[in-house]
Chain A
Amino acid sequence: MKPTSVAELQEMVRAQPHLRLRGGGSKTALAGAAGAASTLETGGLTGMLQYQPEEFTFTALAGTPLVEIEAELAAHGQYLPFDPPLVEAGATLGGATAAGLSGACRVRYGGLRDFILGVRFVDGQGNLVRSGGKVVKNAAGFDLSKFMAGSLGEFGALVELSFKVFPRPPAYTTLRAQYEKLTEALQALARLANSPLEMFALDLEPSDGGYAIHARLGNPSPEIQAGRIQRLKGLLGGDAQALETPQEAELWRSHREFTWLRPGSTLIKAPLTPSNIPGLESFFQQNGEAAQAQRIYSAAGNVAWIGWQGQAAVLDAALGRMGLSGLALLGPAQRTWYGIRRGEVFAQRVRQALDPQGKFHWSAGG
């Protein structure tokens, strides 16, 4: 089903017992199957509804591809500071919100949930509900807009979203540093994250038998950049090197589009803090090879992107032991949720209010 108006979508919700949403289908493990009878595709609800560059806000329909939104913002020197992933793969604004995904460059200003201002969604009874607004500051009513960030289309169908945007930095510089030991790399990560240096991205990944850190700085003006790079080098330690421009862009593109993921792997997002990394790394050292595990610790050690070809139950149990949770995003999803679940009781109460029949609830049992 592919409604072309909100009213049509409301009708479909009222008529159907079960619904699974699909935006651009870029999060293959989360999106409803294209063309399936119970799949509600948002591709008929596209377009920017309101964009005044001087307001630094926009409102668009949920099915609008991010590539279109980013192009329109870029024409006015603006961008989505939460750096949504899978833009080239066709991600939509609604899909990015429902998946609650932010990319590596969320380090500078925050994640998707920090930029969402308002939503309209159709609840399980087919009612069109609005929360938040279009202005950058708003404390009126319950903040269902933030709630919807990461809601996986399980509490209603997003149809319209308002976001705040920021001026886009004119250029970037990325430094790469290599460490033999994880402890050294984590110390460098902590030094960087606690420094006043305004980094856009700070990623850590296994590399050449050790670990590599990539740190990305904006480049507001060439006059000050040399000094900032020196400072960043000092914090990174060792022989940190700046990447050449094409490689710089390509590196972050690869992180954003997950082109580094091996074919056949499942991509799992696991939120964490840097203190969890040693435990997770020792798990990968023992179990990773058989599962062809890949991983990038992104956002200053706040999220692990894990590529996994092993048994889902093994990773699930490991994350659970560490008190972590995970969500499958791409690839053959044997299960949706990994590790522990937090706040389910609370989420269930919201579901009772917005979708008492559980029409949108698809991930149960995971």
Chain B
Amino acid sequence: MDTQSLLHDLAGLIPPQRLLTRPGQVAPFESDALTSYRVRPEAVVLVESQQEVIETVRLCHRYGVPFVARGSGTSLSGGSLPVKGGIVIALNRLNRILRIDPEQRLAVVEPGVINLNVSKAAAPFGLYYAPDPSSQPVCTIGGNLAFNAGGAHCLKYGMTSNHVLALKVVLADGEVVELGSPSLEGIGADLPGLFVGSEGLFGVALEVTLRLLPKPEAFKTVLAAYRSLKTAGDTVAEILRAGLLPGAVEIMDNLAIQAAQAAVNAGYPPDAAGLLIVELDGEAGSVAADFERLMPLIRQSGAYEVRIAADDAERLRIWQGRKSAFSAVGRLSPDYLVQDGVVPRSRLGEALEHIQALSQKYGIRVANVFHAGDGNLHPLVLFDGRQAGAYEQAEKLAHEIVELCIRLEGSITGEHGVGMEKRAFLPAMFAEADVDAMHAIRLQMDPLEIANRGKMFPN
């Protein structure tokens, strides 16, 4: 690793105001949304062109210096945590929307474009970009792509990977490759499919072709409040069993409801033990027909209060509460850990009961907000980092939840990625041969292992 030579050469490439090296300048890049991990990078390069990214990566490869490509740093798995002795390539200024093609329904964007801005640019054409992670007003497409971000509407629309058609990337050894095509169909191995979700371990995306969808013309958003979390969970199973395919099916427990209420006053019933949000979306006729089938199910499900969003404003308020839940929990507790495990949907109730039992066992509060339709849990383990041993206890509890997901044949992560935080669990979910095969691919893409070193694979 020859950091000094790298910095010297970078200075010839990047103007000083965009090559940050002073401690005060690089401090904001020390961590991402997983704030319990911090590493100070040697430098931060604020790139403004694809060519600058390519040159920077090539220099890193030449001098064997690790780099972390980073967008807005909203990773909850420590995915954009800097590497000791390495640099950060900050992509937020590489944020041009190069093309919106309404005829082919696609957008070509650079990685620093903010998720929500894609939909804003597509809106005049009646189109939108479907993946909607809660952080969508700030998170970038590059980060979404690296971690195969999800959101509330994955049940019907899939994750980021289902919306990426083509990519131009610079691999970690400096080679630039183009993967995929603007068509929804392909031939040959699905190369964009492998790149998406590779957690920055192959290289850096420079240009991304995204699929856009016609905006749903109708929505029906229903809120149902339950006296028990389990009943809310059982209702999800009923809805799916009936053959309905809502755009989103979300559940929040009482702690999460209180937090969301305090933060944005979403109008949630404050006493509910479990709150179910079901959203039907799509063509007006089918939404109306599905709504006729959904409502009897909800009315007979034991909900003590049912509300239907009367207009767009009310619908947005419901979603605002849900999407602010993570940050809102900050009002209940100085610190928290978010888990992101997945369980088979029919075992949601079992998983929730187990989490409650763990919460009691440890005497630690756990708030639950989850994508119930996908079986994707988001337990928020609350703790006070100022108390000695509190973090360790919270982490222990969180790890028990991850193990539970593995035991139930689920996954350690649904949408946040493995990153730093769950890398110890990759070998628990996968056999040695599986991890070896992944690592062999990593080495082919990045022989020096400089791209986002230390993430995904166990130390």
B253, CB-defined interface residue at 8 Å: no
Which of A57, A131, A152, A193 contacts B188, CB < 8 Å?
A: A152
A198 closest partner in B (C-beta): B283
CB-contact partner of B345 in A54, A127, A343, under 8 A: A54
Complex Cα distance, B186 from A102, in Å, reads 10
Counting CB contacts under 8 A, is B304 at the interface?
no
**B178 located at the interface, meaning its Cβ lies under 8 Å from any Cβ of chain A in the complex:** yes
Q: How distant is the Cα of A220 from the Cα of B289 in the complex, in angstroms?
A: 7
A231: nearest chain-B partner, CB-CB? B285
Q: Which residue of B lies closest to A102 (CB)?
A: B185
* Residue among A57, A111, A135, A354 facing the most chain B CB atoms (10 A cut-off): A135
* A347 and B158 in contact, given A134-B344, A196-B283, A273-B104 (Cβ under 8 angstroms): no
| A44 on interface, CB distance cutoff 8 Å | no
Asked if B336 is at the interface (CB within 8 A of a chain A CB), the reply is no
Please state if A52 and B154 are interface contacts (CB–CB under 8 Å): no
Quick one: which of A193, A220, A231, A352 contacts B444, CB cutoff 8 A? A352
Name the CB-closest residue of A to B196. Answer: A143
A196 touches B346 (CB 8 A): no
A299: chain B residues within 8 A (beta carbon): 184-185
Q: Are B411 and A129 in contact (CB under 8 A)?
A: no
| Complex partner residue of A193 from B105, B125, B180, B216, CB under 8 angstroms | B105
Which of B194, B214, B340 is in CB contact (< 8 Å) with A196? B214
CB-based contact B289/A138 at 8 Å: no
A105 at the interface (CB under 8 A from B): no
Across the interface, name the chain B residue whose C-beta is closest to A99.
B187
A139 near B104 with CB under 8 A, answer no
Q: Is the CB of A353 within 8 A of B189?
A: no
Q: Is A327 an interface residue (CB 8 A)?
A: yes
Q: Per a CB cutoff under 8 Å, which of A149, A275, A342 touches B181?
A: A342
A146, B194: Cβ atoms closer than 8 Å: yes
Task: Mark interface residues in A46-64 (1 if CB within 8 Å of B CB, else 0).
Answer: 0000001111110000000
Q: Are B437 and A353 in contact (CB-based, < 8 A)? A: yes
Which of B175, B241, B289, B413 touches A140 (beta carbons < 8 Å)?
B413
| A345 close to B175 (CB less than 8 A) | yes
Are A220 and B346 in contact, with the CB atoms below 8 A?
no
Given A193-B105, A271-B185, A346-B191, A139 and B180 contact (CB-CB distance below 8 Å): no
Pairwise interchain contact B216-A343, C-beta atoms closer than 8 A: no
Query: Is there an interface contact between A55 and B345, defined as CB atoms closer than 8 Å?
Result: yes
Partner of B150, one of A137, A194, A273: A137
* Bound form: Cα–Cα A326–B326 in Å: 47
* Interface membership of chain A positions 81-94, coded 1 if the CB is closer than 8 angstroms to chain B and 0 otherwise: 00000000000000
Residue ID in chain A nearest B414 by CB atoms? A137
Nearest-Cβ distance from residue A56 to partner chain B, whole angstroms: 7
Complex contacts, A166 vs chain B, CB 8 Å = 245
Q: Which residues of B contact A138 (CB under 8 A)?
A: 342, 411, 413-414
Mark interface residues in B431-449 (1 if CB within 8 Å of A CB, else 0). Answer: 1011111101111110000
- B64 interface residue, CB < 8 Å from A? no
B residues in contact with A302, CB < 8 Å: 183-185
Count residues of A near B (Cβ-Cβ below 8 Å).
84
**B162 and A197 contacting across the interface, CB-CB below 8 Å:** no
| Contact for B285 among A77, A149, A228, CB less than 8 A | A228
Chain B residues with CB under 8 A of A56: 240, 345
Chain A proximity of B245: nearest CB distance (Å): 6
Task: Say yes or no: A196 contacts B190, CB within 8 Å.
Answer: no
Binary contact track A123-152/B, C-beta < 8 Å → 1, others 0:
100011111011111111111111111111
Scan B215-239; emit 1 where CB is below 8 A from any A CB, else 0: 1110000000000000000000100
Across the two chains, which residue of chain A brings its CB closest to B102? A194
**B105 with A194: CB separation less than 8 A:** yes
CB distance from B196 to the nearest CB of A (A): 7
Contact with B along A246-281 (1 / 0, CB 8 A): 000000000000000000000001111111000000
Segment at the interface with A among B2-10, B310-318, B370-378, B384-392: B370-378
Question: Is B320 in contact with chain A by the CB < 8 A criterion?
Answer: no
Residue A190, interface by CB 8 Å: yes
Q: Decide: A346 and B179 in contact? CB cutoff 8 A.
A: yes
Residues in A neighbouring B444, C-beta threshold 8 A? 349-350, 352-353
Contact A147-B194, Cβ < 8 Å, known A271-B187, A326-B187, A342-B178: yes
- Interface membership of B305, Cβ < 8 A: no
For A313-346 the 0/1 string (1 means CB < 8 A from B) is: 0000000000001110000000000000111011
| 0 or 1 for each of B329-366: is its CB under 8 Å from A? (1 = yes) | 00000000000101111100000000000000000000
- Assuming the A-B contacts A274-B104, A349-B441, are A55 and B411 also in contact, with contact meaning beta carbons closer than 8 angstroms in the complex? no
A130 with B346: CB separation less than 8 A: no
Does any Cβ of A come within 8 Å of B258's Cβ? no
Chain B residue numbers with a CB within 8 Å of A275 are 103-104
Distance (whole angstroms) from the CB of B369 to the closest CB of chain A: 15
Query: Which of A140, A343, A353 makes the CB contact (< 8 A) with B443?
Result: A353
**Nearest CB on B from A48, distance (A):** 16
Do B187 and A327 have beta carbons less than 8 Å apart? yes
Other-chain residue from B127, B188, B434 in contact with A141 (beta carbon distance below 8 A):
B434
Query: Is A282 part of the contact surface with B, judged by Cβ < 8 Å?
Result: no
Q: Which 7 A/B pairs are nearest by Cβ-Cβ distance?
A: A146-B193, A167-B243, A353-B440, A271-B183, A349-B444, A151-B189, A147-B194
Known: A194-B103, A275-B104, A353-B441. 5 other contacts (CB 8 A): A137-B415, A141-B456, A154-B189, A198-B283, A272-B183
26 contacts between A and B (CB under 8 A): A100-B186, A113-B190, A114-B162, A123-B437, A129-B434, A131-B434, A131-B438, A139-B147, A139-B416, A141-B429, A147-B189, A149-B189, A149-B190, A196-B282, A220-B290, A221-B292, A269-B187, A273-B183, A274-B104, A327-B187, A347-B188, A347-B191, A349-B445, A352-B444, A353-B437, A353-B444
